[in-house]
Amino acid sequence: MKTVDALQKTIHELTVAGQAAAEAKKVKEKARIGKRVAHLKMCVSYLKSDPSEDFIKKERDRVANRINLLLEAWIEPHESVQEKEAKKMKKLYEKDMGIPQLRNQMSVLNFLLN
């Protein structure tokens, strides 16, 4: 399992790399580093609560189950709805049900365990 100190060290290294990318005007690289730093900061805040490895595994299973239940509850629209419109409807459903946030939480939990 990851530790707070190791993650903070990585955050510091990425912050320095992000500043170098900003000075070199590498916009995509700076954005990628920024997203990575935000992900690591979420991991650090989770680890500061000092969860046990068993708790993280249970939480991961709970979140995965919740995502699956929400996706199974989705009812496909009628055949007369165009495919593009159906995708928009599903995306809106997922947003309303909080699935993107659950997926983010799932990625944090998986990262902490690996």
pTM over 0.85: no
Q: List the domain boundaries for the chain.
A: 1-50, 52-114
Give yes or no for a contact between 11 and 44, defined as CB atoms under 8 angstroms apart.
yes
**pLDDT single digits (tens) 38-86:** 999 999 999 999 999 999 999 999 999 999 999 999 988 888 888 899 8
Query: pLDDT above 90 covers what percent of the chain?
Result: 70
CA distances from 37 to 33, 56, 70, 87, 106 (A): 6, 21, 29, 31, 17
Query: CB within 8 A of 79, min separation 6: which ones?
Result: none
